[in-house]
C-alpha cells in the first residue's frame, strides 16, 4: 500500500457511514493497518438530494450510485461501499462488485406511531414507504390503507412518523441493526409472507475491475455464501429488468450445501402476484434463479408488466 490513505467512497447518511466504517474496520483487521491508513470520502448523490419524488419518477436506483461510481472511474476513491439492494442490475464498464460482507437480517419491520402491528392500523390509515415492493405487499395485506411515497434516510423517516405525517412506515431490520436502533421496530415481518428486496441486508464493495492491488486488499472481506446468494438474486432481478419501478422480491438462503430461493413479482397495486420457490445446489443457484424469472414472465403474461413502466 502506498503512502496515501486508501479511500473509501460512500453516501453521507448515518447508515451509509456505518456501512463504510464497517468496511474500514474489516480492512484494518484483515491487513493489520491503523485507522489513519484509510480515508472515508463522503459523496453526495442525486438520490440523497431529491427527496420530494419517488425514485421511479426520477431515474431509479442509479441515483444512489452514479456520482460514487464516477468518483471510482476517475480515481478519486479506491472503493465504493453500497447497500446491495440499491445497486442496478448492471454496473458500469470497468467497474465490478468484488466483495459482499456477511449478510445481516433480511427482514422488513413495521414501525407504527400508535400501534405495534399492521393488523392494528385503523381502516384507511396512511402508511409511508419509498419502496414499490413494500407498497405492493402491504396492499395485498391491507387494501384499505392509504399508501404514500416516503423518502429520506432512516432518521428522516422516523421524524416524519413522529410528527404524524403517517401512521406507520416500513424499514429494513438490517439498517436498524447497523444503527443500533432495532428497538423502534414494532412488528418484524415474516420473510416468507413479506420477502425482501434482492440484496437486502448485504453490504457490497465496488472497485475498478483492473485495479489488482485493490482487489487484493478487498478479497479477505468477501463472504462466499452471501456472494453466491446475491448473484442468484441479482440474476433473477436482471431477467425482470428490475429497478425502483418494479415490485420484485427475491431471497436466496443457504440450506446445507443448497440454496432455497424465493422469488416474487407483483403489480404495483398488489392485486396480482406470481411467485416461485425452489431448492438448488449453490453452484446452480444463479442459473436457476434466472430461469425461474423467465418462467414467471411467461406465467404472468405480457399484460402483467404493462403498468410497470408508465
Active site residues: 86
Whole-angstrom distance, CA of residue 252 vs CA of residue 182 = 23
Supply the DSSP string of 177-231, one letter for each residue. HHTT-GGG-SEEPPTTTSPPPTTTT-EEEEEETT-HHHHHHHGGG--HHHHHHHH
DSSP, collapsed to helix, strand or coil, labels residue 16 as helix
Whole-angstrom distance, CA of residue 173 vs CA of residue 106 = 7
CA distances from 93 to 73, 167, 207, 217, 231 (A): 9, 43, 11, 21, 18
Supply the DSSP string of 120-187, one letter for each residue. TSPTT-EEE-S-HHHHHHHHHH-TTSEEE---S-HHHHHHHHHTTS-SEEEEEHHHHHHTT-GGG-SE
Task: Report angle CA 123, 124, 130 to the nearest 5 degrees.
Answer: 130
Say how many C-beta atoms besides its own lie within 10 A of residue 242's C-beta: 25
Contact (Cβ atoms closer than 8 angstroms) between residue 131 and residue 199: no
Whole-angstrom distance, CA of residue 153 vs CA of residue 2 = 35
Contact (Cβ atoms closer than 8 angstroms) between residue 79 and residue 205: yes
The cell for 127 is 402508511
Whole-angstrom distance, CA of residue 104 vs CA of residue 175 = 9
Crossing angle between the packed helical segments 224-239 and 285-300, to the nearest 10 degrees: 30
Tallying the residues shown for the chain, one arrives at 310
Amino acid at each position: 500500500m502506498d503512502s496515501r490513505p486508501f479511500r473509501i467512497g460512500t453516501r453521507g447518511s448515518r447508515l451509509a457511514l456505518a456501512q463504510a466504517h464497517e468496511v474500514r474496520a474489516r480492512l484494518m483487521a484483515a491487513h493489520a493497518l491503523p485507522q489513519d491508513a484509510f480515508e472515508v470520502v463522503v459523496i453526495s448523490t442525486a438520490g440523497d438530494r431529491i427527496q420530494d419524488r419517488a425514485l421511479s419518477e426520477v431515474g431509479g436506483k442509479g441515483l444512489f450510485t452514479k456520482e460514487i461510481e464516477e468518483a471510482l472511474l476517475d480515481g478519486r476513491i479506491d472503493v465504493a461501499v453500497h447497500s446491495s439492494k440499491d445497486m442496478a442490475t448492471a454496473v458500469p464498464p470497468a467497474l465490478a462488485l468484488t466483495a459482499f460482507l456477511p449478510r445481516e437480517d433480511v427482514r422488513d419491520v413495521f414501525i407504527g406511531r400508535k400501534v405495534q402491528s399492521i393488523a392494528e392500523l385503523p381502516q384507511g390509515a396512511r402508511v409511508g414507504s419509498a419502496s414499490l415492493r413494500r407498497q405492493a405487499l402491504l396492499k395485498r395485506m391491507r387494501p384499505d390503507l392509504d399508501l404514500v411515497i416516503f423518502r429520506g434516510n432512516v432518521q428522516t423517516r422516523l421524524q416524519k412518523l413522529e410528527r404524524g405525517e403517517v401512521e406507520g412506515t416500513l424499514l429494513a431490520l438490517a439498517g436498524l441493526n447497523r444503527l443500533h436502533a432495532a428497538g423502534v421496530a414494532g412488528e418484524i415481518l415474516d420473510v416468507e409472507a413479506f420477502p425482501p428486496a434482492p440484496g437486502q441486508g448485504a453490504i457490497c464493495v465496488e472497485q475498478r475491475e483492473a485495479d489488482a492491488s485493490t482487489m487484493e486488499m478487498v478479497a479477505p472481506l468477501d463472504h462466499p455464501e452471501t456472494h453466491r446468494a446475491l448473484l442468484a438474486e441479482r440474476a433473477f432481478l436482471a431477467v425482470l429488468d428490475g429497478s425502483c419501478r418494479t415490485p420484485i422480491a427475491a431471497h436466496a438462503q443457504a440450506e446445507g450445501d443448497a440454496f432455497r430461493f424465493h422469488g416474487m413479482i407483483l403489480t404495483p397495486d398488489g392485486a396480482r402476484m406470481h411467485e416461485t420457490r425452489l431448492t438448488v445446489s449453490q453452484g446452480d443457484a444463479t442459473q436457476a434463479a434466472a430461469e425461474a424469472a423467465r418462467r414467471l414472465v411467461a406465467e404472468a403474461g405480457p399484460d402483467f408488466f404493462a403498468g410497470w413502466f408508465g
